[in-house]
Every structure is written in structure tokens, then in C-alpha cells.
Structure 1
Amino acid sequence: MKGEYLVNKIDIISSAKVNKTPDLYEIVGACNRTLKERDLMFGLALDEKNKTKMVFTIYGT
């Protein structure tokens, strides 16, 4: 129908703060490439309060 669209719901399954290292992006990328068929998505963000930490998040799609 005109004006209607499907919105994918994304739920946070788990989240953890870890020490910041450059290699974490490689791990998140590998997880996203290999586990997307299982409706999982992974994210990594710099912690806003502590720049030496990162927040690793697992999402269900």
C-alpha cells in the first residue's frame, strides 16, 4: 500500500564494555559476516565517558 513500509525490529541481546584495541573491529566484522544468517548483528562503539573503553553490543534482527 502507498506510504506503508516494513520496519525491521532490532533488539539488544547483550552489551559489554571492553578495553579499546584496534583488533576489535576485525572481530566485529567477522561476526557480522558469518552470523548474519542467524539473525545476529554486532556493533562496536567508543564509550562516551571513558575513551579507553569500547562498548560491544549484540543485536537480534
Structure 2
Amino acid sequence: MSLEHKKEGKLELIAQKSFAPYPEMYKVVDYLNRTLKEKDVIFGLTKDKDGKMTISIYET
């Protein structure tokens, strides 16, 4: 990724994985974000209307 792209503050999706609902997954995502914030990655978590969860990994 170019330095110019990083200056724009955009996130680049690196990976996504969907799985069955896990009620405490938000704690895992929070832990990963706190632990790896210096590594230029951000983790996101979404839950669709059917309850399926998706974790996303972004590069900043």
C-alpha cells in the first residue's frame, strides 16, 4: 500500500470469515484490537439478520 493511500485514512480489507453466533466474540475482537493496534490492523465484527457473525481484518 502506498504512503499516499495511508494518509487518506482508508482501511483495506485483508480477510473475512463468517461463522455461527458466538455471544462473547466481541470480547475477542476487542482484545485483538487493543493488543495489535501498533501493527496497523483493525478487527471488525458484524452480525447479520440471521445471526451469522463475520469477523473482518483491515489494514490501516
Return the TM-score normalized by structure 2. Answer: 0.81
Instruction: State the percentage of identical aligned residues.
Output: 39
SS in 2 for 1:22: coil
Give unmatched runs, 5+ long, in structure 1.
1-5
Matched positions, count: 54
User: What RMSD over aligned residues (CA atoms) do the two structures have, in Å?
Assistant: 1.2
Structure 1 residue ranges, 4+ long, deviating more than 4 angstroms after superposition? none
Return the TM-score normalized by structure 1. Answer: 0.80
Give unmatched runs, 5+ long, in structure 2.
1-6
Greater C-alpha Rg: 1
Higher helix proportion: 2
